[in-house]
C-alpha cells in the first residue's frame, strides 16, 4: 500500500522539525527526487514542497551572506523571538529543548552535560520561536565556570527566558539562585517558568511554583497532550502578540496558527499571511471569541481575539 499524500506530508513535517534551513532543503530534495507519479493531491503536495524548498534556499542565501562566527555562544536570530533556557545543572533544560523543537541534543543524568548552546526552532504553524538551550548556571559563583562570559552574552541576547527548575529538588532555592544571577547580569527578561519531573510525583509542587512565579506563566514538564500551544500562547503574550488561526476558505485545509500583534485586525492578519492577500482581501468569516456567532462575516477592520479562526475572503 503506498503511503497516502496526507501521511506523507505529516512524515515530512515531522522529519523537518528542528532542522536548519539547509538540512531541510536537503530533506525536501531527497523526497522530491523520488516523488510518486500519482496525480491530484500528490502533485499538489509536490508543488507545495518545491515552493517551500525555494523559500528555504532564499533564507539560506541570506544567512550565508552574514559572516559566520566561531563563537558557539553567538546565535543568529530567527523566528518571533529568541528564548533562552536557563537553569541549574541537570534540571532538564535540554529535555525541554528536545520536547519543544525535536532537535537532537545530549540529555544525560549528570550535571554539565551541555557546555555549549543547543539551538532549535519551536514551531506551531506560522508561529516560530528560536529556543537556545544554555549550559547550566552553577550552584556556586558564576565566575567559577569557564563559559561565564558566554552565558552572560547569550542571556543578554535573548528577548525572553524560559526558567527551568526541577520540582523534585528545592526549587525555591533554584529560583532564587537564578533570579539573583540573572539580575546581576542585567538580564531580567520576561520569562515563562517550567517545573520538570511532574511525572515523577512532583505534580503537586506546580501550584507552589505558581505562587513563586509572581504572575509569570508556569508549565509542568513533561508537557501534557497539546500543551505546546499553551506554551506558544504564553511566549506570544510576553511579546504582545496573540495567536489566531487562518484557514483557506477554498481548500478548507487544516488552519495554520499565526501570531498577530494584540489589537490586530483582519487586514493585519492578511498582510502577515501574504502581502498579496492584504491587497486582495475584501472581508472575512470568523469563528471564535471575537465573533458573535460561528462563521460571522466581518470587515477588514474587525479586531481579532486569541483563539479566533479566520477565513479571509477575496470576493
Ligand X SMILES: Nc1nc2c(ncn2[C@@H]2O[C@H](COP(=O)(O)OP(=O)(O)OP(=O)(O)O)[C@@H](O)[C@H]2O)c(=O)[nH]1
User: 118-124 and 127-133: which strand pairing?
Assistant: antiparallel
Identify residues 149-208 at the interface with ligand X (CB under 6 A). 196-197, 199-200
> Which range, of 7-15, 109-117, 155-163, 219-227, touches Mg ion by CB under 5 A?
109-117
Shortest reach from residue 167's CB to ligand X, in Å: 8
Residue 168 or 172: the one with the smaller Cβ distance to ligand X is: 168
**Are the beta carbons of 265 and 302 closer than 8 angstroms?**
yes
Q: Which does 200 bind (CB under 5 to 8 A by kind): ligand X, Mg ion, none?
A: ligand X
d(CA 79, CA 168): 33
d(CA 188, CA 128): 22
d(CA 267, CA 177): 45
Q: Candidates 114, 123, 177, 290: give the one binding Mg ion (CB under 5 A).
A: 114
| Closest by Cα among 244, 292, 288, 294 to 269 | 244
Residue 63 or 107: the one with the smaller Cβ distance to ligand X is: 107
Residue 34 or 144: the one with the smaller Cβ distance to ligand X is: 144
d(CA 236, CA 142): 30
Does 222 contact ligand X by CB under 6 A? yes
How many Cα atoms are found within 13 Å in the side-chain-facing hemisphere of 24? 25
Residue 54 or 200: the one with the smaller Cβ distance to ligand X is: 200
Torsion angle (degrees, nearest 10) of CA 14, 18, 21, 24? -30
Identify residues 176-215 at the interface with Mg ion (CB under 5 A). none
| Closest by Cα among 126, 11, 115, 9 to 72 | 115
Residue nearest to ligand X (CB): 92
**Are the beta carbons of 28 and 53 closer than 8 angstroms?**
yes
> Which range, of 13-21, 41-49, 62-70, 112-120, touches Mg ion by CB under 5 A?
112-120
Q: Which helix (H) or strand (E) holds 218?
A: strand 218-220
Helix, strand, or coil (residue 58): helix
Q: Candidates 113, 157, 296, 309: give the one binding Mg ion (CB under 5 A).
A: 113
Shortest reach from residue 196's CB to ligand X, in Å: 4
Q: Which does 177 bind (CB under 5 to 8 A by kind): Mg ion, ligand X, none?
A: none
User: 191-196 and 160-166: which strand pairing?
Assistant: parallel
Shortest reach from residue 213's CB to ligand X, in Å: 18
As a 3-state breakdown, the chain gives helix, strand, coil percent values, each rounded to 5, of 40, 20, 40
Shortest reach from residue 116's CB to ligand X, in Å: 10
Q: Which does 120 bind (CB under 5 to 8 A by kind): ligand X, Mg ion, none?
A: none
**Per-residue binder mask for ligand X (CB under 6 A), 91-130, x = binder:** xxxxx-----------xxx-xxxx----------------
Shortest reach from residue 156's CB to ligand X, in Å: 20
d(CA 285, CA 291): 9
d(CA 286, CA 246): 9
Residue 91 or 162: the one with the smaller Cβ distance to ligand X is: 91
Residues that bind ligand X (CB under 6 A): 87, 89-95, 107-109, 111-114, 136, 196-197, 199-200, 221-222
Residues that bind Mg ion (CB under 5 A): 93-94, 113-114
Amino acid at each position: 500500500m503506498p503511503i497516502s499524500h496526507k501521511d506523507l506530508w505529516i512524515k515530512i513535517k515531522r522529519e523537518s522539525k528542528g532542522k536548519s534551513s539547509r538540512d531541510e532543503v536537503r530533506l525536501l530534495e531527497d523526497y522530491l527526487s523520488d516523488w510518486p507519479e500519482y496525480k491530484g493531491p500528490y502533485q499538489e503536495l509536490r508543488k507545495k514542497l518545491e515552493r517551500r524548498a525555494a523559500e528555504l534556499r532564499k533564507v539560506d542565501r541570506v544567512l550565508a551572506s552574514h559572516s559566520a562566527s566561531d563563537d558557539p555562544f553567538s546565535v543568529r536570530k530567527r523566528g518571533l523571538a529568541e528564548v533562552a533556557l536557563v537553569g541549574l545543572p541537570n534540571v532538564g533544560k535540554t529535555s525541554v529543548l528536545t520536547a519543544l523543537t525535536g532537535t537532537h541534543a545530549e540529555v544525560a543524568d549528570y550535571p554539565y552535560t551541555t557546555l555549549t548552546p543547543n539551538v532549535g526552532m519551536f514551531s506551531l504553524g506560522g508561529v516560530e520561536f528560536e529556543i537556545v538551550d544554555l549550559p547550566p548556571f552553577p550552584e556556586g559563583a558564576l565566575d567559577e565556570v569557564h563559559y561565564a562570559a558566554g552565558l552572560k552574552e547569550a542571556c543578554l541576547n535573548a528577548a525572553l527566558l524560559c526558567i527551568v527548575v526541577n520540582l523534585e529538588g528545592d526549587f525555591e532555592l533554584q529560583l532564587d539562585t537564578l533570579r539573583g544571577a540573572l539580575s546581576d547580569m542585567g538580564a531580567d527578561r520576561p520569562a515563562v517558568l517550567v517545573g520538570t519531573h511532574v511525572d515523577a510525583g512532583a505534580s503537586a509542587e506546580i501550584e507552589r511554583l505558581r505562587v513563586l512565579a509572581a504572575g509569570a506563566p508556569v508549565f509542568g514538564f513533561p508537557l501534557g497532550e497539546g500543551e505546546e500551544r499553551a506554551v506558544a500562547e504564553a511566549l506570544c503574550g510576553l511579546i504582545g502578540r496573540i495567536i489566531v488561526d487562518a484557514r483557506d476558505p477554498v481548500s478548507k485545509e487544516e488552519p495554520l496558527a499565526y501570531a498577530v500583534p494584540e489589537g490586530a485586525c483582519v487586514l493585519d492578519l492578511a498582510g502577515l499571511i501574504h502581502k498579496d492577500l492584504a491587497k486582495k482581501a475584501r472581508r472575512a468569516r470568523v469563528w471564535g471569541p471575537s465573533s458573535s456567532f460561528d462563521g460571522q462575516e466581518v470587515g477588514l477592520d474587525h479586531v481579532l481575539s486569541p483563539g479566533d479562526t479566520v477565513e479571509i475572503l477575496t470576493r
